[in-house]
Structure 1
């Protein structure tokens, strides 16, 4: 579900087809309603007046079409560009034009409708102005609703796509609470936009947020603390009753603010107490127990599948043999062409790298400075075979570290290795740019490189490598909720951005 939402194109398609379906159904019901009446006239439901069929159908069709097209333009073109801060002035002008077009079109339609509904209706200039003003207010209200919809939509997308990060960073957020919050925001928006009794809005606006808060608190703190008691469920019920008693007056005051009456506020608070006690409290207990059983099964499967310390060692020890063959060939070629100075430099750097893999790579954590040394040695060794080619540009801005910051070994090198493997061509212009800096114990690492089509006789033409997949696995296992990995790819370029919170 989360991966689906991350793909904006797929979400946009769902949104488009949902809006189109609503539009088609509106046209369908318009046709069926008008066909059920006289072909020459349609009777007004509130007045004993018959409206010409052609105008009734045409006016309704125009309204639906204008609203549908305005929604498509605003939701799929203008709002996304505003969020990306593209063509800001043009988009603001388009919004103003849509506002004027909707207000003017509805004003003309409704003015003509009034003339047909009211026999002998004589509209003067002031009446026309009043009708037009009301329809411009209606257009402004529609734009306001569109703004609320966009805020709720993008807030929901953010919450759902960053659910794991939010839950790991904020311990108070329980599994499922973000989804419940999104559902509440959407349903509350729908209740506010349609004609609904005020008590219903007040009840939904009070009880569901209280339920989400109680569920999160009980899931993360109340139940785990109760499990240490002799009778966990009884202790859980006792603490829940105490919380509900303390919350009764605040919830009643909130209900009074939403309804402007005292009695409905007390009724809402009483209903909230009953819902929390009879539904949310036992439901949270059941979900927590199921969550614990799920975690136990996951831990068991991890052991069975070898996702343990030995598996970490295996992942860390993997390195592309293609690089080792290239390095040895480079040193051999350099020895034939030059004096032993560059050859000895290459041998020394390769020795440091092999020593790193055999010794420090087996540790759980190493200093960031040693990881950076390994990356620099790798880059220097690769430059031995690329410096002679003026079409190959390699730029690095790697900040040296003096602070004692720990990092899991071999996390950065797969990105650099991938850049040299796919980004260097001796036949075409190539480039690699690598930057690394640390701010407030947060590492920012960027690798950008060119892409080239491999030759047909290249033995690794169809081999995409396992380094990036391994590093993704290790980041999820070693830094859950403490990293952000962004990979973008075009036909000519490949870009990787890693943000990592270090200890």
Structure 2
């Protein structure tokens, strides 16, 4: 989950890499073109002694050819123009700089190889436009890739900040509800179960203050946290026939990682909207974790007087947002409201590392 920002290479190293890629590209293209012509037309270049220029000899000459060195210098110039002109100056200034670079390339070629024979003014005009178009396309493409990478990094930081905000909302919300439950337990009972309740709460607090601050935790820790919460809920509820709470948690023991406090909003929501002291109500939870695959089916009675408020809480909205941010392609969630409220969640915890 922790994303490390990549440090860009120094400009000089970027220019060297750019030149090396251009050198490799020119060498491969020239050798491939020469090989094709030799295969289709036969040898057409010969040394003074009459021996043909082989493909390997052509490759060696291309590597050391002075024209190749000129274009390596062009690649370095294009890289420097991108960093020092395109990124900081206007487009007009950059275009003028590209024109000057193209003219400089043509001048060097004219001085080293004056137009004669098969080499004419049109060839140098082609070189001018090739250098100019390459410089412009390189700068525009590089700028587009850089902008997209920056936007992706910003989205990642935004997601991390949003997750931190969600955790900050979840933790106090859960503590207040639990403390209210403990208060009700202390009033209804003669403190016989208060000690056990406090012990359960202490375990929950330790979990929230330690594991829940991490991006991921062992699924065994999350299950223990849920069991403590469920025991607290069952302890605070009176033993009445109209209240039916059934929980089943199955875990095969396979180590797996999960985002902490991911499931508790759904369970908390079920008790908040599905339990009444006066009406028939129920909460059924079946949680299975096998082979790093989590499946949860949670059902609760949706009481008529609470239906209008159902779904208005921030806890469930934050849980849905966390699932989308943390497991965009690894979860399947179905919410049903008829004939009662039902949550079906499948979560793939494979290939998730700290």
Higher RCO (CA < 8 A, seq sep 6+): 2
- Normalised to the residue count of structure 2, the TM-score between the two structures is 0.54
* Structure 2 equivalent of residue 471 of structure 1: 319
Q: SS of 2:193's equivalent?
A: helix
Consecutive unaligned residues in structure 2, runs of 5 or more? 1-17, 37-139
Residue in structure 2 matched with residue 334 of structure 1 by the alignment: 185
1:232 and 1:447 map into 2 onto residues whose CA distance is 63
How many residue pairs are counted as aligned between the two chains?
227
Distance verdict in 2 for CA 1:483–1:450, change over 3 Å:
same
How far 1:489 sits from its partner (Å)? 2.2
When residues 428 and 288 of structure 1 are mapped into structure 2, their CA distance, relative to the original with a 3 A threshold, is farther
Instruction: Give the structure 2 partner of residue 352 of structure 1.
Output: 203
Counterpart contact for 1:423–1:451, Cα < 8 Å = yes
Change (3 A) 1:425 1:484: same
Please name the residue that 2:43 is paired with.
none
Q: Give the corresponding residue for 2:214.
A: 363
Report 1:161-176 matches (<5 A): none
1:307 maps to: 159
Partner of 1:296: 150
* Equivalent residue, structure 1, for 2:241: 390
User: 1-side partners of 2:166 and 2:142: how far apart?
Assistant: 33
1:401 Cα shift?
A: 4.9
Unaligned runs of 5+ in 1: 1-226, 246-285
Q: Distance in 1 between matches of 2:19 and 2:212?
A: 40
SS at match of 1:494: strand
Q: Which has the higher helix share?
A: 1
2:264 to 405, 413, 416: 413
Instruction: Compute the TM-score of the two structures, normalised by the length of structure 1.
Output: 0.39
Q: What's the offset of the Cα at 1:348?
A: 1.1
Structure 2 CA distance for partners of 1:366 and 1:321, relative to 1, 3 Å: closer
| SS of residue paired to 1:393 | strand
- 1:497 is paired with a residue whose SS is strand
User: Residues of 2 paired with 1:439 and 1:400: CA distance?
Assistant: 6
RMSD (Å) for aligned C-alpha atoms: 3.7
Tell me the distance in 1 between the aligned counterparts of 2:19 and 2:195. Answer: 64
- Between the aligned partners of 1:234 and 1:307, the Cα distance in structure 2 is 40
1:426 match: 277
Equivalent residue for 1:486, pick from 334, 342, 354: 334
Distance 1:425 1:228 in 2: 74
1:230 pairs with 2:81: no
- 1:248-272 alpha-carbon deviations (Å, 9 max, x no partner): xxxxxxxxxxxxxxxxxxxxxxxxx
Quote how far apart the aligned CAs of 1:330 are.
Answer: 3.2
Asked if the contact 1:483–1:501 (Cα under 8 Å) also holds between the matched residues in 2, the reply is no
Q: Which has the larger radius of gyration?
A: 2
The Cα offsets for residues 400-452 of structure 1, whole Å up to 9 and x where unpaired, read as: 45332221111111111111111112222111111121232211122121211
